[in-house]
Structure 1
């Protein structure tokens, strides 16, 4: 890498994200820009560090917008496994809302599991949904996001704060 690395940025796949408030807190503490990406209007805090991005209603429009900007030094928050795969491949740190990181080592299994579950649902097998989001998930997410930001800062990526 030549020159100064780009500032750390957080990209949020926002439509079904249960941890937006936690993301805003971590971003404020570290002075990091957050892009809240959605297909429709969504309330975000009135803060210069937080930018709402409303994309078109096309299939995967939000995913495409995020994936095009994913890079080393970016943190992507999503539960969408195909989007996570695209972002991990681009070098971004990717964290699910439960705090589970998607990594090069884990993304293949996550994709395979997702595809299997999709096939089972298509055949009519009852597979149940995800378990309810818990306080423990929220806490694990906060810890994982803070750890990712600290790791990136230690690797030389600036926070973007003056």
Structure 2
């Protein structure tokens, strides 16, 4: 799972996909701060790939720097969840439900996808305002970001993927 992203670990090319590795200790420290385990697929991703940015698809034909498309590092996810606006990473208007953990920043500190770690399906990915299901699993969400488009979710929601 996620082996196709390994070439991008440590990639500092500003226009490409790039991921930064994490230590198991960093992941465990965040779980202690949150008071619960991260969703299994998110934990696996953090442990095997890390965190970072989706900028282009697998054939390098689509590059988009308009959106952050950032899979949050676990420390930032915990800061946003526990500190809210005081984390310095989100807009004052952004409020997450008690059961939501922000994991993916779409753009500008105001648009996120979340997971619900303590739900019946902790690996599912949701839109944070309204709770619309984006994907049944993080694995599928990541796969679509890479193999379809870094902005596939815009098309699925009736938005303009080229915007």
Scaled by the length of structure 2, the TM-score of the pair is 0.31
The structure showing larger relative contact order (alpha-carbon pairs under 8 Å, at least 6 residues apart) is: 1
Flag the structure with larger Rg. 1
Answer 1 or 2: which has greater helix percent. Answer: 1
Scaled by the length of structure 1, the TM-score of the pair is 0.31
